[in-house]
Chain A
Amino acid sequence: MNGPFDFALGLGDDALVAAQRLAEWTTRAPEMEEDIALANIALDQLGAARLLLSYAGELEGAGRDEDALAYLRDDREFRNALVVELPNGDFAVTMAKLFFLAAYQLPLYTALAGCSDERLAAIGAKARKESAYHLDHGALWVKRLGDGTEESHRRMQSAVDEVWPYTHELFTADPAAPVDPASLRPAFDETVDPVLAEATLTRPQSAWAPAGGRTGVHTEHLSYLLAEMQVLHRAHPGATW
């Protein structure tokens, strides 16, 4: 990453793609309460994405607004971390993704709230309150599933194993950024470790650390996600909605 535009774009893309995935659960959740909770979290992520993408567009100064950035870029131009574009899988995979993402976003937005860029500080101040709720929700489910039945334990451990390697990319060092992601790793570990322990889950040891999202080299999943998200907007160039 280089400069505030790429930084804001990357965070905005994280939130946008996370929102798109979470919203896929609508009408499919295991409980009605969870339908509401997942839609709620998706809405928060979408709100943060809109603020970040709007600001990124202003920083770029090329006249792109939130919709131009969301709907008219291809996957090679998206800057989200890979973890948010992974398919939802079962409920355990979704909760693993949510929990790890929130454990990263909460210290990120908290640090952002104190940064010298006023707009980013304001976005961070708003978003960190939402992240705290997301983290609470994700952690609670990781514990419920990890320490629930044999079946749920098996699925939760498998989900943690599957998602864990993708968390490393979130902390790729960028000393020039308003908040260096590498500085967030200790807070992430302090959050995650006790929850996994309480959930009777084992923290994975795998050294595999897939990355590439921040430079636009994604998994095969993102292109499909964008095809669906952008189809209507692209079918009517220049229309307002």
Chain B
Amino acid sequence: MYGNDFSAPADAPDDPPGGGLLGEVEAAEADLRAAAARERRGGPAPDEDLAAYFADVVGAEQKIEPRDWMPEAYRRTLIRQIAQHAHSEIIGMQPEGNWISRAPSLKRKAILLAKVQDEAGHGLYLYAAAETLGISRDELVQLLLDGKQKYSSIFNYPTLTWADVGAIGWLVDGAAIVNQVPLCRCSYGPYARAMIRVCKEESFHQRQGYEILHTLAHGTPAQQAMAQDSVDRWWYPSLAMFGPPDGDSTHSAQSMAWKIKRFSNDDLRQRFVDMCVGQAEVLGLRIPDDDLRWNEERQAYDYTQPDYDELMRVISGNGPCNRERMAHRRAAHADGAWVREAAAAYAAKRAQNREKVAA
């Protein structure tokens, strides 16, 4: 939801969702292996300027690893971005988790449980990646709970019907993948590797969401209406996931220079729109934008921009569910404190016993 970059052209409209993107993940993984196999120049020479050395490594498409010197601002930017990404996975469990107990078939319930479990796993990979930059998960979680770090704006919208679970898979995970596939080539090695794993699982999630909507859109009239209503509500919040328009994006230029991101918010948003139009046709659902039309000259779809004032309101804490999402996470953390304390006390006792036995 934060960084971006992509290389291949947009999926043909009749491609299965995520198909082309998954190919890009695999290409990024192959390049990562190739880069690791290439002779990497050793550390900087004794009198070499560290900043020049860093720029050299990044310029050569080699990965920066935790042991390497890096500009302090690069470290801080990555900590912020990776942590917000991790927080998004954890908070993002809530809107979908809302439907586990009511999933309409046992198969769908199982798929949804597995998906939410994957998201917790993604959160853990990402916190681990952030920890390589010299900050602890506990500190990052505290920053989230204190409202000092953010998570993706999209999770502040409510899941009102079962179809929303499908729309989240298709649109929200779809947007996340478009944003994240380029991060598989991010200059920071631990983040790039985490993203490869995350993107592979996300593409399954997107496919499942698409399948939920497809089933609903081809079901009873009530199911069709439910599917359309969810697309109507999730379309613009999903477009807003790519962040403010390029002119207003504060972190873009520097992140691009560092090869954390390579494509602008608007480029990625366009790619997402172009990808969704054909998919919506196959689904038999309407994208709620009267001005959506193919532009022959640009070879891309013209579309109506999301309401960025609304995005800013949501980001600053006044979306429909911001308070609820944070209250839920704080409550889980507070309610679990005695359990974590017990685990620590038990581990300490065991360690003490082992010492006694050893002595």
Residues of A within 8 A of B (CB): 16, 20, 23-24, 26-36, 39-40, 42-43, 46-47, 49-50, 53, 66-67, 70-71, 90-91, 143-145, 147-149, 151-152, 155, 228-229, 231-233, 236, 238-241
> Other than the known A27-B332, A29-B332, what 9 A-B pairs have Cβ atoms closer than 8 Å?
A24-B101, A28-B331, A30-B339, A46-B106, A152-B339, A228-B102, A231-B102, A236-B223, A239-B104
Chain A CB within 8 A of B244 CB: no
- A145 and B339 contacting across the interface, CB-CB below 8 Å: yes
Given A91-B339, A148-B345, A155-B338, are A39 and B104 neighbors across the interface (CB < 8 Å)?
A: no
Residues of A within 8 A of B222 (CB): 236, 239
Which of A29, A30, A50 is close to B106, meaning CB atoms less than 8 Å apart? A50
Identify the closest chain B residue to A230 (Cβ).
B102
Given A144-B342, A231-B102, are A239 and B97 neighbors across the interface (CB < 8 Å)?
A: no
Tell me the smallest distance from the CB of B95 to a CB of chain A, in Å: 10
- A30 and B336 contacting across the interface, CB-CB below 8 Å: yes
Residues of A within 8 A of B182 (CB): none
Which of A23, A36, A66, A149 is close to B121, meaning CB atoms less than 8 Å apart? A36
Name the interface residues of B82-130: CB closer than 8 Å to any CB of A. 90, 93-94, 97, 100-110, 113-114, 116-117, 120-121, 123-124, 127
Identify the closest chain B residue to A144 (Cβ).
B346
- B93 and A241 contacting across the interface, CB-CB below 8 Å: no
Identify the closest chain B residue to A42 (Cβ).
B113
Tell me whether chain A's interface is mostly helix, strand or loop, or mixed.
helix
Identify the closest chain A residue to B99 (Cβ).
A232
- A151 and B338 contacting across the interface, CB-CB below 8 Å: yes
Given A46-B106, A46-B109, are A30 and B335 neighbors across the interface (CB < 8 Å)?
A: yes
Q: How large is the interface on B (under 10, 10 to 19, 20 to 34, 35 or more residues)?
A: 35 or more
Residues of A within 8 A of B329 (CB): 27
- B93 and A26 contacting across the interface, CB-CB below 8 Å: yes
Residues of A within 8 A of B341 (CB): 148-149, 151-152
Which of A147, A155, A236, A239 is close to B346, meaning CB atoms less than 8 Å apart? A147
Residues of A within 8 A of B212 (CB): 241
Tell me the smallest distance from the CB of A228 to a CB of chain B, in Å: 5
- B102 and A232 contacting across the interface, CB-CB below 8 Å: yes
Tell me the smallest distance from the CB of A85 to a CB of chain B, in Å: 14
Residues of A within 8 A of B27 (CB): none
Given A27-B97, A148-B345, A236-B222, are A49 and B338 neighbors across the interface (CB < 8 Å)?
A: no
- A149 and B120 contacting across the interface, CB-CB below 8 Å: no
Pull 6 A–B residue pairs with CB atoms less than 8 Å apart, ordered by A.
A30-B335, A46-B106, A46-B113, A49-B106, A53-B106, A239-B219
